[in-house]
Chains A and B, each alone.
Chain A
Amino acid sequence: MFSLENITRIIHEWLNSHFNPTIALVTEFILVGVASITLFALLGLSLVWMERKVAAVMQIRLGPNRVGPKGIFQTTADTLKLLMKEGLVPDGADKFLFNLAPFIVMIVGMLILAPIAFAKNFQIWDINIGVLYLSAISSLSVIGILMAGWASNNKYSLLGAMRSGAQIVSYELSAGLSVLSIVVMAGSLSIKDIILSQQDGWWIFKAHIPALISFIIFIIAVTAETNRAPFDMAEAESELTAGFHTEYSGMRFALFFLAEYINIFIVCAIGATLFFGGWMPLHIGNWQAFNHIMDYIPSSLWFFGKTLGLIFLIMWFRWTFPRLRIDQLLNLEWKYLLPISMFNLLLMAVVAIKGWHF
């Protein structure tokens, strides 16, 4: 059976039998880096294409259909175009910060990738504080965005960056609380343990009502955190031209664009891990036969399927709802999501203590 675990094991054994352990370790580091960069590029290309197709079908259009069959090479062509464009730096900009900002945003995306389990025993870094690490790192990207907005020396960029700052600072809270409610259930911060605790059913089914509430809050909060419509005030094409990346062009713009899609993938992967069991196949309690059949589907397929499902949900949001105003956005967070998620955390704790879950 196909499994990513075997591939890594074979590479690891081959390297260790041919070289000394230090060289093998360094080679593995490089391989992991190359693999994650490749994953980023592929994700960027395919998610942008998916977004455009989903948008088109929802608006009764065709979407890209000229470059390649069904337009699948459209995003490749766009990337080539962006690569060849001149990366302009405005005269009044702070050159150093301006050039640094897109890389900060990308590096944050790459850092979050570390504790995510892509398949069974296929994880870059299994740390015992995985969830804490994720929520700590994911709020760093706002620094890159603020940096871009400030260094551009442009009023639209600055406004967009400030909005993004307010947005991420406030939505981080309810995202954190909803993640915490699953941690209460699983009793561990490590991603691996959380996934293993869903062996007999995913948390969204096992912990029923509170898990559903925290899933809804989580998906709203991460949509806001990734600056996606209907919470895309940081970009807000109709108000701020392009928000914090107004002054960016060429490959620097492409990095911001890529980072947006990488962030979507990562938050959806976290959501899939916490609520839908990551790579864990669909198991129902003690139905041995059923569970066994489900195990035949490779765990990587389960992971990517769940993640893509959540990504589709977020795209669905984008092409359905109009943009919120900044005061509505903050109202939603501080008056609704935060109290509800605090109450929900309490409810979850009661459910966990009383053992009212399955």
Chain B
Amino acid sequence: MFLKDYIKDVYGAIRSVLKGMRVTGYYFTHHKEIITEQYPDNRETLKLAERFRGEVVLLHDEKNEHACTGCSACEIACPNGTIKIINKFDISPDGKKKKAIDTFVYHLELCTMCNLCIEACPTDAIKMAQTFEHSVFDRSKLTKKLNNEGSKLREGIE
């Protein structure tokens, strides 16, 4: 019946309008949890999400050793050529050639923080850091060398 449907429509509309207003009204009267981060003021207490991706870093331990074998899996995995690995060959004492990284080049300006390089790495040598204040005055500063000076491959990682 037409009139019945009509009244039902009006009733449903008023009900849903009140339901919506109750939600926002609840937030208006219960403003305890403010989600705004007052960023420059709360630098010390800033808590980022665990999975936040700031930039790629190569992990070094206290003996200045890293786990990067120079396999270039990350370079292949990278969709936009952010990573470039330059290898060198060390001659070990018993006369064998051994591959090692010379420079781990990382172009932060090209990186989209997609995490594919970290997933591709077989030895978990790289990870995403939580730093995010990347702005610099000179673009060339965004091209980074990730391996520290004089670092070498950790023993036992092939």
| Chain A interface (Cβ < 8 Å from any Cβ of B) | 54, 56-62, 65, 316-317, 319-321, 336, 340
Contacts and interface: CB of A to CB of B under 8 A. Distances in A.
A320 B38 contact: no
Given A320-B20, A321-B20, A340-B10, A58 B27 contact: yes
Contacts of A319: 24
B17 interface: yes
Contacts of B136: none
Contacts of B28: 54, 57-58, 316
Contacts of A60: 27, 31, 33-35
B21 A316 contact: yes
Contacts, number: 37
A57 B24 CA distance: 9
A62 B24 contact: no
B155 to A, nearest CB: 52
Nearest to B20: A320
Contact of B17 (A56, A57, A59, A321): A321
Contacts of B9: 336
A56 B27 CA distance: 10
B36 interface: yes
Q: Is chain B's binding surface mostly helix, strand, loop or mixed?
A: helix
A61 B34 contact: yes
A320 B23 CA distance: 8
A61 B35 contact: yes
Contacts of A61: 34-36
B31 to A, nearest CB: 5
Interface of B: 9-10, 13, 17, 20-21, 23-25, 27-28, 31, 33-36, 38
Nearest to B32: A60
B137 to A, nearest CB: 25
A56 B20 CA distance: 17
Contacts of B20: 320-321
Given A58-B24, A316-B25, A336 B36 contact: no
B128 to A, nearest CB: 28
Contacts of B10: 336, 340
Nearest to A65: B38
Contacts of A59: 27
A-B residue pairs, 8 tightest by C-beta = A62-B36, A320-B24, A58-B24, A320-B20, A61-B36, A60-B35, A57-B31, A58-B27
Contacts of B36: 56, 61-62
Contacts of A320: 20-21, 23-24
Nearest to B26: A58
Contacts of A336: 9-10, 13
Interface centre among B9, B24, B27, B28 (most CB of A within 10 A): B24
Nearest to A339: B6
Given A60-B34, A316-B21, A321-B17, 16 more contacts: A54-B28, A56-B36, A57-B28, A57-B31, A58-B27, A60-B31, A60-B33, A61-B36, A62-B34, A319-B24, A320-B20, A320-B21, A320-B24, A321-B20, A336-B13, A340-B10
